[in-house]
Amino acid sequence: MRTDALNRRIVPRLLLIYPATHKLGWVKYFQLPSLSLQQVAAVTPAHWQVTLVDESQDSIPDGRGYDLVGITAMTHQAMRAYEIADQFRRNGVPVIMGGMHPTVMPEEALTHADAVVIGEAEPILGQLLKDFLGGRLQKIYRAPIAQDDRLDIPRPRREILSGKRYLTTQTVQASRGCPYDCDFCTVTHYFGNRFRYREAADILAEIRSFPRKLVIFLDDNLLGDPAKARPILEGMAEMGIRWGSQTSLRFAEDRELLKLVARSGCIGLFVGIESVTGNYSQLSKSSGKSPQAELMKRVRGAGIILETSLIFGFDDHDQSIFEKTLRFVEECVPSVPTFNILTPYPGTKLFQQYLQEGRLLHQDWSRYNHSEVVFKPLLMTPEQLYRGWLEARKTAYTIPSILSRVWNNPGRRFTNLAYNLLRKGPNDRLPSL
C-alpha cells in the first residue's frame, strides 16, 4: 500500500535521524555534526529529498510526509534509536538503521527496523533504496569489507545541516580502516584491515572549498600511513589552515613527519595511550624504540595540543593503576588527559571474552558510555574501578594541575586552557556512587 502511495508521489522523502541520549544545554552548539548521516545523504540518489534531524537540536517529527526514516546509532545511542524507530513504525513509516551498533547487532536492530545496513553505506544504499521503491526491501544489506587501500567515496552533503549550529561543519574523513585490530575496538573487523585513503587531490579540493580556516578530520588515524598522509599534509601547508585529528602517537617517531605535521597547520591531536601498563596501545605494536614520554614531549615541543586517552579497567589493572596513571600524566604532561572506563562494546573480542566468562553486568546499551562500569574487572570491584576513575579525573583537573599543564605546553596556551576547563566541566556533576 505504501509503495502505491510512493509511486504516485514524484519525490520520495527520506528523514535521517541522529539520536540524542541526554540534553546537552549550551554545549550542543559546540558539537560536531554527524558525518555518518551526511555521508548517507551523499549516496542517496538525487531524486530523493533528504532531511536531517539532529535530536540534540531538533525535535523528532511524527513521520507525516516522509516515506522512509534512516537512523544511525553508536552503542550508547541504540536504546534511544530503537524508541524512535518503534514510534515511526507505529505511525506506519518504515525504518532503516545503520552505524556501528546495528552493524555489530543486526538481529537486535531488526526487531526495531525494517532493514539494517551492515558496514559502509556507499556500496549498498543505492540498491536498498531501489528495492524499497520497488516494494522488495530486504532485511539485511551487508556491505563487502573493503580489501584494497583506496577509499572512493563522494564528499558529504553538508547542505542537510543548514539551519543548525555546530562548533564547525568543516569535518573531513580522509581514511577508513585500521590494521591494528585491538581487542576493544570494532573498526578493523568492519572497515578493513588496512588504511584506505581518499585521493589527496580530492581531500585538498574539499578543504579548499571551505569558507573558514579550521578543519577537523574524523579519521581513526590520519597519519597511520605516512606515505599516503604526506601529500595531504604538504597540500595543507600551502593553505594556511588549522586542523586537528585523531592519530596514533607512533607517527612522532619520524621527526621529519612531525615537522611537516606542525608546518601543515596542525593545532591538536587526540591519541590513545590506553594503558600505562603498555600492553594495549597501538604503540606497543610499533617497531619503533622511542618510549611514549619522549614522543609526547616531541609533539608538545612542536606546539601541538596533545589530548591523550587513558583507559582504566584492563585485566592487569589493580587499584594501583590510578596512582600510576596520574604519575604518568604528571611526568609526560599531555596537554589534555582524558580518562575512560574500559567498555566492552558488542562486536569486539573483549565483549565476547567477558560474555563467555560471565563478566558482563548487564546489556543496557545506554550505559555503555565509558563513564559507567558495565563488567566485572579482574583485580578490582566495579565500585573500586568507578571511584578510582572519578578521583583520577578530579585530581588531574584541579586548577593547579591544569595551570601546570598549560604552563608546560609551549604555544596555544589560551586554547589549551579553554580546552582543559571544558574537560573539567562535568567532573563535579558525576555521581560519587
- As beta bridge partners, residue 302 has none
Report if residue 36 touches ligand B12, rule: CB under 6 A. Answer: yes
Report if residue 229 touches ligand B12, rule: CB under 6 A. Answer: no
Report if residue 101 touches ligand B12, rule: CB under 6 A. Answer: yes
Applying CB under 6 A, among 129, 161, 185, 258 the residue interacting with ligand B12 is 185
Report if residue 340 touches ligand B12, rule: CB under 6 A. Answer: yes
Q: Which of residues 160-179 bind ligand B12 (CB under 6 A)?
A: 173
Q: How far is the CB of 102 from ligand B12 (least distance, A)?
A: 8
- Rounded to the nearest 10°, the torsion over CA 264, 198, 216, 232 is 0
Q: How far is the CB of 370 from ligand B12 (least distance, A)?
A: 4
Nearer residue to ligand B12 within complex by CB, 164 or 298: 164
Which one, of 169, 2, 210, 191, lies nearest residue 99 by Cα?
191
At residue 411, φ and ψ (nearest 5 deg) are 80, 155
Q: How far is the CB of 271 from ligand B12 (least distance, A)?
A: 13
Planar angle of CA 80, 83, 89, nearest 5 degrees: 140
Applying CB under 6 A, among 39, 57, 170, 264 the residue interacting with ligand B12 is 39
Applying CB under 6 A, among 75, 169, 292, 420 the residue interacting with ligand B12 is 75
Task: Select the span of 98-106, 192-200, 257-265, 322-330 touching ligand B12 (CB under 6 A).
Answer: 98-106
* Cβ atoms of residues 149 and 195 within 8 Å: yes
Per-residue DSSP letters for 293-350? HHHHHHHHHTT-EEEEEEEE--TT--THHHHHHHHHHHHH--SEEEEEE----TTSHH
Applying CB under 6 A, among 67, 114, 220, 253 the residue interacting with ligand B12 is 220
Report if residue 98 touches ligand B12, rule: CB under 6 A. Answer: yes
Report if residue 201 touches ligand B12, rule: CB under 6 A. Answer: no
Report which residue type is found at 323.
E
- In terms of phi and psi (left: phi > 0; alpha: psi -120 to 50; beta: otherwise), the region of 269 is beta
Q: How far is the C-alpha of 161 from the C-alpha of 157, rounded, in Å?
A: 8
Report if residue 427 touches ligand B12, rule: CB under 6 A. Answer: no
Report if residue 41 touches ligand B12, rule: CB under 6 A. Answer: no
Q: How far is the C-alpha of 278 from the C-alpha of 301, rounded, in Å?
A: 23
Report if residue 19 touches ligand B12, rule: CB under 6 A. Answer: no
Applying CB under 6 A, among 41, 68, 74, 350 the residue interacting with ligand B12 is 74
Residue number with the smallest Cβ distance to ligand B12: 98
Nearer residue to ligand B12 within complex by CB, 198 or 370: 370
* Cβ atoms of residues 186 and 140 within 8 Å: no
Q: How far is the CB of 9 from ligand B12 (least distance, A)?
A: 21
- Rounded to the nearest 10°, the torsion over CA 247, 250, 253, 257 is -20
* Cβ atoms of residues 311 and 283 within 8 Å: no
Binding residues for ligand B12, rule: CB under 6 A, are: 32-36, 39-40, 70-72, 74-76, 96-101, 117, 120-122, 125, 173, 185-187, 191, 218, 220, 246, 340, 345, 369-370
